[in-house]
Chains A and B, each alone.
Chain A
Amino acid sequence: MPIVPLSRIADARSGDKGEGSNVGVMARSEAAYVFLKGALSTALVQRHMAAINRGGVKRYEADTLRVLNFLLADSLGGGGSASQRTDAQGKTHGLALLRLELDVPHSVLDATRE
């Protein structure tokens, strides 16, 4: 199976939620969604975002929207106006997750537009 970045088969947007952020991952095809539901686990996201997020990761599935929504509990360097990070609102966390490299089956790639 080819190794490709998550961005090959999904879009993402992120924003702040309290002291953490959410990353909505939008699969670009049904095949990609089914694959990601199995492959994009909370453990994998936790590992990939470990330097950004000091807290836990929770995942919500929205089948009808083909969306996996990840909540990163402590990813802003402090809530309110306490964070001094450049990305204090987690605006770029979606793009960070899209950099994740995954082993994706040819069938999923074929079914998902670039």
Chain B
Amino acid sequence: MPRKDKVLVANGQGFWGDSLLGPIRLCREGPLDYLTLDYLAEVTMSILQKQRLRDPKKGFATDFVKMIERTAPDLVAKGIKVVANAGGVNPMACKDATLAVLRGHGFKGVKVAVVEGDDIYGELDALLASGETLANMESGAPLASVRERVSSANVYLGAFPTAEALDAGAQIVITGRGTDPGLVLGPLIHEFGWRRDQYDLLAAGTIAGHIVECGAQCTGGNYTDWRAVPDLAMVGYPIVEASSDGSFVVTKHEGTGGMVTQRSILHQLVYEMGDPRNYIGPDCGADFTSIRMDDVGPDRVRISGAKGTSPTPTYKVSISYENGWKALGQLTIAGPDALAKAKLCSEIVWRRLAYDGCTFSDEEKTIEFVGANTCHEGIDVPHASEPSEVVLRLGVKGHDKAKLDRFGYELVPLVTSGPPGVTGFAGGRPHATEIIGFWPALLAKSKVSTKVSVFES
């Protein structure tokens, strides 16, 4: 039996680097049952894996621990539960740091659960030996072709392990890689007792999760008609008011900025969308076109009718690998004749490098004149060729690190040996940094096992 009629699940962190105010204000300014926080992107996993190799106590989202430090008094006083994929590639270390913070506050008996099983980095060779190819979903190439350069490998787990952790009484659930919508779906499975074969309900929870997964992107952020959005500075982060029948209301705390409308929600629904009829997740497929939206009050939109399908027999795997080096630098060129001078600067850099035997193909070079329609290149925009100043961005990539570092020497000299008006070299000399390639693959679900452990402060 459902324990509650309605459950309030919010997202306070759309990505690692999102505003600190999201979670703080969600806890402070209105009722809430669950706070979900997303910290992981593909590139993040590789960076965290490297941190852990250097220090076994690292490899998780340290920002999460700082967030708990700030919000713990509210979380404990109001009994708000937290679900976060802050574990990265070291969820146990994240749990230890979280428990330390809770104990520091003097909070005893707070249960913190860890979901494991997503990290298959250590099992790659065994999986390949067992016949899994982990072929690139886009190119079809087998993982063996880049095996020695792989820097992380994580399965996008479903929401059921999170629900299991909540069933065990956890107030804070720390996971590694899972899907972003799963952060919301997990609590709904736990609260309403949804089963693995109730695809319409799982699809509803998945769609709810997708709508809030990027934080303020569904409450007025990144909205086409931006002038129509009230008080974006104080934007409220989204809350799903979910019912056991799969319908839910998207809203935000009263008095916060931004807005929740059918159009603000639609903006997020299409974000990073592929086939709108078949959004593939680990627990079900979801048909975005099946939903019905109704206005049910100010900043309140009800969504119902979601249809789902059975899940695929495979998990998506996020694999990252080292794929060469890159270097990038920029200078600001003041007018008059800013664009013409910036183009000359670019030519000067490549010619000086060529004199020293250092050349790059067009494919390896990035040349941008920011301020002269860089983002919308090739599209006719009035006055784009007459900016009063431009930022010249030059980049190179390749597998020869020494060559990329050589490039870095020829940018800043333009200040004294280029045309007049070259400035803005505050970043100093560009250095080569690693390129992290992303390798999407599929893995049979039967090859993955998950584990939930519960600890106490």
Known: A80-B436, A82-B323. A67 touches B379 (CB 8 A): no
State the Cβ distance, B218 to closest chain A Cβ, in Å: 10
Q: Which A residues lie within 8 Å of B223 (CB)?
A: 11
- Shortest C-beta distance, B418 to chain A (Å), equals 21
Whether B272 sits at the interface, judged by CB under 8 Å, is yes
> How does the 8 Å CB contact mask read for A22-52 relative to B, with 1 for contact and 0 for none?
1010100000000000000000000011111
A56 at interface by CB-CB < 8 Å: no
Interchain CB contact (< 8 A) of B436 among A64, A81, A91 = A81
B368 CB-CB contact with A under 8 Å: yes
Rounded to whole angstroms, the CA-CA distance of A83 and B212 in the bound complex is 27
Q: 9 closest A-B pairs (Cβ-Cβ)?
A: A51-B378, A24-B270, A84-B395, A11-B224, A80-B438, A84-B366, A62-B276, A92-B375, A81-B436
In the assembled complex, which residues on chain A have CB atoms less than 8 Å from the CB atom of B379? Answer: 48-49, 51-52, 96, 99
Contacts of B377 in A (CB 8 A): 51-52
Task: Give Cα A85 to B395, complex, Å.
Answer: 9
Residues of B within 8 A of A82 (CB): 323-324, 326, 397, 435, 437
What total of A-B pairs shows CB separation below 8 Å?
Answer: 129
**In the complex, are the beta carbons of B275 and A60 less than 8 A apart?**
yes
Q: How many residues of A contact B (CB 8 A)?
A: 42
Q: Is the CB of A96 within 8 A of B376?
A: yes
Which of chain A's residues have a CB closer than 8 A to the CB of B368? 85-86
Complex Cα distance A26/B273, Å?
Answer: 13
CB < 8 Å neighbour of A22 from B263, B272, B397: B272
Q: A21's closest neighbor in chain B, by CB?
A: B272
> How many angstroms between the C-alpha atoms of A87 and B368 in the bound complex?
11
B440–A80 contact, CB under 8 A?
no
Least distance between A84 CB and chain B CB atoms (Å) = 4
Report the bound CA distance from A11 to B263 in whole Å.
Answer: 9
Instruction: Say whether B415 faces chain A, with CB atoms less than 8 Å apart.
Output: no
The contact string, 1 if C-beta is below 8 Å from chain A, for chain B 371-392, is: 0001111110100000000000
Docked Cα-Cα span, A44 to B22, in Å, equals: 40
Residue among B270, B324, B395, B397 making CB contact with A13, cutoff 8 Å: B270
At the interface, is chain A mostly helix, strand, loop or mixed?
Answer: mixed
From known contacts A13-B271, A26-B266, A62-B276, infer whether A18 and B225 are also in contact, taking CB-CB under 8 Å.
no
Shortest Cβ distance from residue B106 to the other chain A in the assembled complex, whole angstroms: 42
**CB of B347 within 8 A of chain A?**
no
A–B Cβ pairs within 8 angstroms, 22 of them: A7-B224, A11-B266, A12-B224, A24-B271, A24-B273, A60-B274, A65-B266, A65-B269, A65-B276, A65-B288, A71-B274, A79-B437, A80-B323, A80-B436, A80-B438, A81-B326, A82-B397, A82-B437, A85-B368, A91-B222, A92-B375, A95-B224
Other than the known A13-B270, A49-B378, A99-B381, what 5 A-B pairs have Cβ atoms closer than 8 Å?
A15-B271, A18-B138, A60-B277, A80-B438, A86-B393
| B222, B323, B438: the one within 8 Å of A18 (CB) | B438
A103 CB–B CB distance under 8 Å = no
Q: Is B436's CB under 8 angstroms from A17's CB?
A: no
How far apart are the CA atoms of A86 and B438 in the complex, in Å? 19
Nearest Cβ in chain B — how far from A2, in angstroms? 18
Q: How would residues 293 to 321 of chain B score, 1 for a CB under 8 Å from any chain A CB and 0 otherwise?
A: 00000000000000000000000000010
Of the residues B276, B328, B376, contact of A60 by C-beta under 8 Å: B276
Provide the A92-114 mask, 1 if CB < 8 A to any CB of B, else 0. 10111011000000000000000
Contact check, B276 vs A67: say whether CB atoms are below 8 A apart.
yes
Task: Give the chain A neighbours of B440 by CB distance below 8 A.
Answer: 18
Q: What's the least CB distance linking A5 to chain B, in Å?
A: 11
**A26 engages B43 (CB within 8 Å):** no
**Complex contacts, B101 vs chain A, CB 8 Å:** none
A64 to chain B, nearest CB (A): 5
Specify which chain B residues have a CB less than 8 angstroms from the CB of A78 in the assembled complex: 397, 435
Chain B 340-387 interface residues, beta-carbon cutoff 8 Å to A? 366, 368, 370, 374-379, 381
Q: How far is the CB of B155 from chain A (nearest CB, A)?
A: 18
Distance (whole angstroms) from the CB of A105 to the closest CB of chain B: 22
Whether A65 and B272, one on each chain, are in contact in the complex, defined by CB atoms closer than 8 angstroms, is no
* A84→B397 contact, CB < 8 A: yes
Q: Check if A92 sits within 8 Å of B271, measured CB to CB.
A: no
Interface membership of B198, Cβ < 8 A? no
